[in-house]
Amino acid sequence: MEQSEKLLLQSRQLKHMSNNKAFAKKRNNSIKVIVLGISILAAYILVYILDFQNAVQGIMLFLIISAALIGGYNLCQKFDSDMLVKYILFIGFVMRIGYMLYTPCPLRQHDLMDISIDSNGHAAYILNILDGHLPMSNEGQFYHPPLYHILSGIVIFVLKPILHLTNEIDVMNCARLVSCFFSCITLYCVKSLCVELNIKKPIPLALVAFLPNFYLMGGRVNNDAMAMFFMTIILIYSIRWYKEQSRKNTLILALSFGLGMMSKMSVAVFAIPSGLVMIYVLAKSVKSHNLLKTLKSLCLFAAVSIPLGLAYPIRNMIMFHQPLNYVLNVSDAGFASENYSYTQRFLTFPITKIVSPVYNDVYNDYNLWMYLLKGGLFGEFRFKIVTAIPATMLFIYTIITILMLISVVRSLKDKDISVRYLVLSASVLMISYIAFNIKYPYGCTMDFRYIAPVFVICALLFGRFLDLNKDKKISNLIHRISAVAVLTFSILSIYMFCVI
């Protein structure tokens, strides 16, 4: 009897210690996010007060070179993967925060429009919020849900009197803080996904940390970065919910869907893969006689996510007869892609145009895959820099993309449900993206930002592929080539966006 009591006591102690460790880890993660948010805000205020906008890129280079030298020395003494991850995160944050600080809001934007309450772009949306009400029409960008614009309005409301802002561009610049913050914490989410899938972090994390399009998202006044964050959180918690249908996992997944759809309705596309996971779990629960618990979890999910996610679309449907899947039509802008056949747009790849020209042309380009390849690096913009640098980046990125696609194909054989869920999520988003381009055959609809989560998924599957095949001779060679390619690409990306 005494022996059994001792075993029971030891079991309780171990469980208590495990719970304490889990709580400490969650607390540390929360502290890191809070510190990151405060750091971004402090950097913004200091740069504005000291008028250091023109010195930001020099400061970025100093911080990055210092981190690289210190990190290189430490890693040469003793290689530590976790330490390398910390340096990748730090430099990734510097790139996002720095780009946001030196890029004024009118530069490389999407749908900002005039900074006037009489306009109908994202700027006008935020100004309506500051005026104390939601937009009174669904014209222009007003059809979007309001979460990003509300948070931006709060940031402007707080900073405007503190910084004595009067210039309209200075006022609207504050809204970039919201995008930058969500772009940065998305990196934490990618790290968590690596842990969840038991993938070595450096290569997938470096790909996401130093893909230029993610810098661009973090410096914009629109809802792209926020939607990207919520879609990444959905990936994490759909996997966690599959493993354990706890109240915490259910609530966070429901809030991710609800708040994600309050930032951008395209987040709803993940309802298909996550919904199929839920159906699979429901079917398993019938066999395991655990049906009631699963049903309770699904009811809680629906009760939280549906009202949050559909409140604004229903509001617009009632007020303006706007369909739930409404997208602003821009057919009068004169895009060339609508004049080309499906074969030219979707079933070919004009390889001769990879570096000639290096950048996309939103009005004259028509091939989806070429546009997507260049768009991952440069979006729809051109940069004042020696062409050899972006051309080299594009060449390396093409090699990395081919390797990632091979990894995705190999993942189709994987029996791990979490991996299958990622492949399904990427497939659904790609199908939705192609359908979107068929319905709206315009240059802007081909933009990378519409399928950015697919890149994250491909980076993760690429990392998993390298991990699983590291002991094979050919795969070991691929691993070395991949590491050199990712390192070179990262250095070029950092340099380019520290000097443009």
What is the pLDDT, as a whole number, of residue 149?
Answer: 97
User: What number of other Cβ atoms are within 10 A of residue 41's Cβ?
Assistant: 17
Cα–Cα distances in Å, from 358 out to 352, 448, 497, 498?
11, 15, 16, 19
What is the pLDDT, as a whole number, of residue 221?
Answer: 96
Query: CB-based contacts of 183: which residues, under 8 Å, 6+ apart?
Result: 96, 214, 215, 217, 218, 225, 228, 229
Q: Which residue has the tokens 């998305």?
A: 186
Measured between alpha carbons, how far is 298 from 287 in angstroms, rounded to an integer? 17
What is the pLDDT, as a whole number, of residue 429?
Answer: 97
Measured between alpha carbons, how far is 459 from 436 in angstroms, rounded to an integer? 24
Cα–Cα distances in Å, from 474 out to 132, 321, 412?
62, 58, 20
Q: Residue 346 burial by CB count (10 A; 0-12/13-18/19+): exposed, middle or buried?
A: middle
The pTM assigned to this predicted structure is: 0.93
What is the pLDDT, as a whole number, of residue 295?
Answer: 95
Amino acid present at 26: K
What is the pLDDT, as a whole number, of residue 22?
Answer: 56
pLDDT in tens, the chain (500 residues): 456 666 556 666 655 555 555 556 667 888 999 999 999 999 999 999 999 999 999 999 999 999 999 998 888 888 888 999 999 999 999 999 999 999 999 999 999 999 999 999 999 999 999 999 999 999 999 999 999 999 999 999 999 999 999 999 999 999 999 999 999 999 999 999 999 999 999 999 999 999 999 999 999 999 999 999 999 999 999 999 999 999 999 999 999 999 999 999 999 999 999 999 999 999 999 888 889 999 999 999 999 999 999 999 999 999 999 998 888 887 766 788 888 999 999 999 998 888 889 999 998 899 999 999 999 999 999 999 999 999 999 999 999 999 999 999 999 988 999 999 999 999 999 999 999 999 989 888 999 999 999 999 999 999 999 988 776 766 778 888 899 999 999 999 999 999 99
